[in-house]
Structure 1
């Protein structure tokens, strides 16, 4: 039996945007057939495409899945005119967008969240607010603080060939991180610690392409790369609020993940109802590098709790 797939837009009122905003979403399965899983993509400023593998849950475990493009990217409203505006591109904006989507879809009273990378940071913060409808949380390949993330990134960078390190440091020092040489050196890091598949899945390629087309959100909030974080996210942390997360929580990362165990550990130590699984031979995208196992682990966790 074919899984129903629907998509559309919801209005998102952002008074400071200066124009009408919409959030695009896609639903796999029937929202009325069980507790839906809402996927929060990373970046910030990426698109839903690289999370499409989790839509397998609709067929394998009869769990409806909702994916969406966060404001500023993909099919949702773009705001290139807000580039560099750190008062506009905030964590609160994306928390508000998530709440709006849940309400507009009518699932605010019963849902689970899977956040990947930045999406896991957003999902964790959402869970600390103890929304009544949240039944379970999955934090995938995400840090509990950016201080820990940058420490981990520094240790991984030190393992790269010296000439690659030199190129990265030169362009970061000179402010020329938009150069092709810098991007090529970044690929060495990415191929080891972000996605180890060769060739990359088309869905992951589209994610990278989208960031090139409109890097507004990523450059404003994060900076030019995974390891050169100079935007306001460099000071982000949820550690002091982790004890407020009361729903069952699953932590995921890869053996060679840029989200090393050290950045995940506070979640494990401070959340009361928590499990942790690390995917062997995977890096930052186990949802592709170990697709079947990823869906199995997530599906079994959710089936026992939602």
Structure 2
């Protein structure tokens, strides 16, 4: 695919429950009759930066791409003093609904793409608010957190024995904030989250933002991807998946921390779903194999575009 230059970029914020949600709308330089795509970043609590290349990857065929930072991270309102019970899945569903209602560019329908936690939020949104969503793309995402944890623990067992021992010792001692534990987390990330060395700048930007304010991630996930003690520990959408009535594409890397068993329910239970696994990639195929990602996801979006005037 030959990339087109990007056009106008609109940035702003919308009010949400007394707070602010930041957004960016990237318009193509040569617009085509295609529906926009809304990108949901991961975490929870990891800012959108590591997905910003999707503006070019998915906008190359004349499509508008919408990014935003979910409440509690990035350029949106930060609430480090909010109680744990504040950070819920319904909160983030309502925030996305509010954004959709406020952005005129989405009024004629849109595609919804979620990466990692974003791919957990996306089906929750479609189940609550199906109107307007023309297709669903779930990237590197589990259908349940227990399935995710079972998979990441299996992946952890593939790392060197000393890494596994470090993890076991610090999780047992409750010292997961130690430098040794964080080094073990980094070893896991470099094998199963992003295999590029060095990391792309946009990924480093997201990690820096997370380090500056880990409130949402630590509340909802916990110390690490493989030691989930937060409020999402029991989350699952598996039993509700047959209620999703939009075409769905599930993508993952062959060495993804989202293991096949964790995302298989999407393809097994959503009536109109298909999948693609990218060789040579882990949890961030859009960074590791961008051309393949753009082709596969772009083909799917084009197959399910509708005129903007449709409702």
TM (norm. structure 2) is: 0.93
Cα distance, 1:34 vs. partner?
Answer: 3.4
Is this contact kept in 2: 1:109–1:134, CA < 8 A?
A: no
Measure how far apart 1:86 and its partner are. 2.5
| 8 Å CA contact 2:70, 2:92 repeated in 1 | yes
Residue aligning to 1:51: 51
How does 1:155-170 map onto structure 2 within 5 Å?
155-170=154-169
Distance 2:295 2:8 in 1: 21
Cα deviation digits, residues 279-306 of structure 1 (max 9, x gap): 0010000010001111111111001101
2:119 aligns with 120
Root mean square deviation of aligned Cα = 1.4
Partner of 1:17: none
Partner of 1:36: 36
Give the whole-Å Cα distance in 2 for the aligned partners of 1:206 and 1:113.
23
Moved more, 61-70 or 124-133: 124-133
Shift of 1:244: 0.6
SS in 2 for 1:235: coil
Superposition pairs of residues 49-88 of structure 1, within 5 angstroms: 49-57=49-57, 59-82=59-82, 85-88=83-86
Could you say which residue in structure 2 is the equivalent of 1:269? 268
Aligned-partner Cα distance in 2 for 1:59–1:155:
36
Rounded to whole Å, the distance in 1 between the matches of 2:146 and 2:201 is: 32
2:52–2:202 contact (8 Å) kept in structure 1: yes
Residues 286 and 293, structure 2, Cα contact 8 Å, conserved in 1:
yes
CA drift of 1:32 comes to: 9.7
Residue 239 of structure 1 corresponds to 238
Residue 92 of structure 1 aligns to a residue whose secondary structure is helix
TM-score normalised by length of structure 1: 0.94
Q: Within 1, Cα distance between the matches of 2:84 and 2:136?
A: 28
List gaps (5 residues or longer) in structure 1: 14-19
Deviates more, 1:214-223 or 1:178-187: 178-187
Please name the residue that 1:25 is paired with.
Answer: 23
Output one character per residue of 1:50-105: Cα deviation in whole Å (capped at 9) or x when no partner: 111211145421111000000000100000111xx231000000000000000010
- Mapped to 1, the partners of 2:146 and 2:107 lie a distance apart of 32
Match of 1:251 in 2: 250
Aligned length: 298
Range that drifts further, 163-172 or 196-205: 163-172
Please state how far the C-alpha of 1:129 moved relative to its aligned partner. Answer: 2.6
Shift of 1:2: 4.4
